[in-house]
Structures are given as C-alpha cells and as structure tokens.
Amino acid sequence: MTAAADALRTALKNRTARVGVIGLGYVGLPLLDAFINAGFKTIGFDVDRKKVDALLAGRSYIKHVPGSKIEGWLREGAFEPTDDFVRLNEPDVLLICVPTPLTDARDPDLSYVESSARAIAKALRPGQLVALESTTYPGTTRDVLLPILAESGLKPGEDYFLAYSPEREDPGNPDYTAAGIPKVVGGLDELSGELACLLYEAAVVKVIPVGSPEVAEACKILENTYRAVNIALVNELKVLLDRMNVDVWEVIDAAKTKPFGFQAFYPGPGLGGHCIPIDPFYLTWLARRQGLNTRFIELAGEVNTSMPEYVVGKVVTALNDASKPVRGSKICVLGLAYKKNVDDSRESPSFELMDRLRDMGAELSYHDPHVATMPTKRDYDFPPLHSTPLTPEFLRSLDCALIATNHDAVDYEELVRHAPLVVDTRGATRGLESLGTVVKA
C-alpha cells in the first residue's frame, strides 16, 4: 500500500474526499446527486460555459434533476461548477462522464474522452483516482486513457489509480436513480479496483467488482446490444404482423404473461437515446479490428435504422387514402424526446421523421410537454420551432398527427376525437380506434 493509496483510502472511508465530475449532462448531474447525498463535497467540470452559468444560478437543464436540488447543493456548499480545467488537481476523484458519439462513418469518436484525459494529465497529482464512465468499447481505458495519463509522469497503481465503471441511467424511471442502480467496477490493477469500489460503495446501492476495465467496458456494450437486438426483433415482427393485420401490441401483452423465458420489448419509430443507437456499432467496429463480423448485431442495426422510413411510408399511405398528398399537408409530430416522460432528445428518431417529411413538402409542427423548444442538432437543420398546444382547434386544423413518443401527459382520447388522422407508432391509442381514424405504424 503506497502512501498515496493510504491517504485516498482514508479520505474515501471518511467521505472527506472531494469528487470531481467531468461532463455535467444526463450522466454527470445524476451522479453528482448520488455522491452529494452520500455526504461528499463535489466539483463539476464542463467546457460549456452556458451550462456552468446555469448551474451557478441554480437552474437545471435536465428535468429529473430540478433546479431546487441544485440550489440546495450550492447553498450547502456541496457543489461547485466550473469550466476551469486547471482545477482538476483539486478533487481526489475524477469521474469522466463525457459523450462518446459515432463519426459519420459510424466509428467510435473518443475525442471528448481524449481531451478530458489530456486535461487531467496536465493536472494529475499523486493520490487521485480517475474513473471513466462514458460508454465505450473494451480496451479504451487501457489503450486510450492510460497512455495519455502517462504523460503526467505518474505511475498508475502507485501514484494515481485508474478504473472503468460504466454509467447506468434510466431517465424518467423514478424506481432507479443513479444511487439505486448496481455499479460494475473494473480497476486497471487490484489496488485501483479496490479504491474505486470503496468510492462507489459509499454512494450506490451495490457494487459489482470485475477483474479488469475490459470486462466492465464489455458489460456495458452487452447490456445495450441486448436491448438493441430485441427491439429490432419486435420492430421486424411489427412490420410482418401489420401486413397480416395482427396487433403486435396484443401479441406482446399475451407473450409477457409467460413467467419465464420472455422479457417484453416494444416496437417504435426507431432507436433513441445516447446508448442503444450507438453502442452496438462500437462492438461491430471492434469486431472489424479483430478481423471478425458481428452479422447478428449489424442486422439488428439495419432493422432499427430502417424504422423511420417504414413510419413515413405509413404516413404517406394514410394521407393518400384520405386523398391528400404529403406536400402541403399539416403534420404534427407528437414527441421530440426519445422516450416517454423525459426531456432527453438525444438521437431521437423524431428528428429523422421530421426531416424526411419536410423533404417531401409537409408543413411541420410538433408537440412535446417536456421539450418546449426544438433543440439544435448536428445532423439536422430545422428552423426555430416551439411545442404547439394540442387544442381542439389546432388538432382539427391538421391533416395528420404522428405519435412518435407516447408521453403520459397527452390526452390521446381527445387527440383521436379531434385530429382527422392519427398515425400511432407506440400503441398509445389502443382501444380508441372507434373514436376516429387511427393507423398503426
């Protein structure tokens, strides 16, 4: 046991260690909440000055971390947000929670991880624990992060400690907060793993130590690939059963009565969120580097990415049946968020749906009780749009209402009664078909 390790162990046990979180988004803020609730003082780092200023003012930009909570953190002196990365030497723990998107070629883009690592390397001091939480492919911690941190001149496992612990978030699910989800932890070495487990044990319900960062990295990829593949299965089944005039939602409801051997997954207009649309492609990229093909995973990706095209086709057919062209038709997309009851629009298929419909000449609007203003997206260029209230007058003025996300706050009975045509990708209008014209997509 080195002196640096001994000092960090004592600080973690006494909860006097200061926890630093790099990346104050949908992963970083809930993680801060878990550590602050456990009694740790924290400091948050982000390159986006607007986010830092909002947090300093006690304002939140994430629904499930309300501003009142941030105000409390600031008032109690438990949290300090900053964009000054020179201060990375101040915390005893640095948790990296930055985005890991894909390039246009669907290869991993680790630029945010690498820039964070370079900033850490400049400030790294003995006695610090660094843990990567961003979702990535097996080998990132050892092959990407470690060589950059080596520029500090410090030795891992002796001077500083390195681990990987994948973020696990389920936005909008009140039953599973960051503190309530078991945490997988893989240390670069035995001591790093022990100290990382000691850290997370203080803040989360359960810690699952594994033998290496690669195991922890692969664990996260497996979790999300499992979901992507099963969603692709029900999406493909939806297309087939729709052709046969069989209700896929009723089929799933019947199947999930089996108490073993089946877990219900549900179809939709495409994948959304930061993890599921992206993580399987990390695995296929890694497989190509190993000279292998992950045909099963790639097929699932093809099915899921084809769903917006399928949905738009259903809209075109439904309008055609009403003797209306898409060009000039007034179409309102319900839901910009990628899943119901959240404000997270990352990778939401709604943007692809709107982009395709706009290219066909539709007059677009949207409604989302959780997303008041359409956020800017790197891959899409929309004019400024704001959520339109679903008044009876507005609904009657439409040619089509397209349900892309089934938020609970929407009155679907009123929607079906007043909108001339409803295209439903989420099964939100089941049982309401007799009240108006509903097309399942």
CATH code, domain carrying 155 = 3.40.50.720
Give the predicted TM-score (pTM) of the model: 0.91
pLDDT value of residue 274: 66
Looking at the structure, tell me whether residues 209 and 237 fall in a common domain: no
CB 318 within 8 A of CB 421: yes
Looking at the structure, tell me whether residues 143 and 209 fall in a common domain: yes
Provide the token pair at 210: 């594994």
Q: Is 296 helix (H, G, I), strand (E, B) or coil?
A: helix
Looking at the structure, tell me whether residues 11 and 81 fall in a common domain: yes
Looking at the structure, tell me whether residues 266 and 288 fall in a common domain: yes
Domain boundary among 190, 219, 248: 219
Looking at the structure, tell me whether residues 209 and 230 fall in a common domain: no
Q: Which residues of 348-357 are buried (b: 16+ CB within 10 A; e: fewer)?
A: bbbbbbbbbb
Looking at the structure, tell me whether residues 415 and 434 fall in a common domain: yes
Domain boundary among 165, 188, 219: 219
CB 320 within 8 A of CB 441: no
Predicted confidence (pLDDT) per residue in 11-48, tens digit: 999 999 999 999 999 999 999 999 999 999 999 999 99
One-letter identity of residue 365: S
Looking at the structure, tell me whether residues 159 and 203 fall in a common domain: yes
**Which domain covers residue 393, as residue numbers?**
226-441
Parts of the chain with a pLDDT under 50:
none
Dist CA 308 CA 177 (whole Å): 31
Closest CA to 300 of 238, 219, 218, 230: 230
CB 11 within 8 A of CB 92: yes
pLDDT value of residue 333: 98
Looking at the structure, tell me whether residues 362 and 262 fall in a common domain: yes
Looking at the structure, tell me whether residues 186 and 233 fall in a common domain: no
Provide the token pair at 143: 């092959």
Domain boundary among 188, 219, 250: 219
Looking at the structure, tell me whether residues 385 and 240 fall in a common domain: yes
Looking at the structure, tell me whether residues 89 and 31 fall in a common domain: yes
pLDDT value of residue 34: 96
pLDDT value of residue 104: 74
How many structural domains comprise the chain?
Answer: 2
Adjacency order of strands within the sheet including 207-210: 79-82, 41-45, 18-22, 93-96, 129-132, 161-164, 183-187, 207-210
pLDDT value of residue 284: 84
Q: Which of 197, 275, 332, 400 is catalytic?
A: 275
CA torsion sign, 109 to 112 to 116 to 119?
positive
pLDDT value of residue 63: 85
Looking at the structure, tell me whether residues 349 and 441 fall in a common domain: yes
**197 assigned to active site:** no
Which neighbouring-strand residues pair with 228?
none
CB 31 within 8 A of CB 93: no
End-to-end CA separation in angstroms for the chain: 61
pLDDT value of residue 114: 98
pLDDT value of residue 429: 97
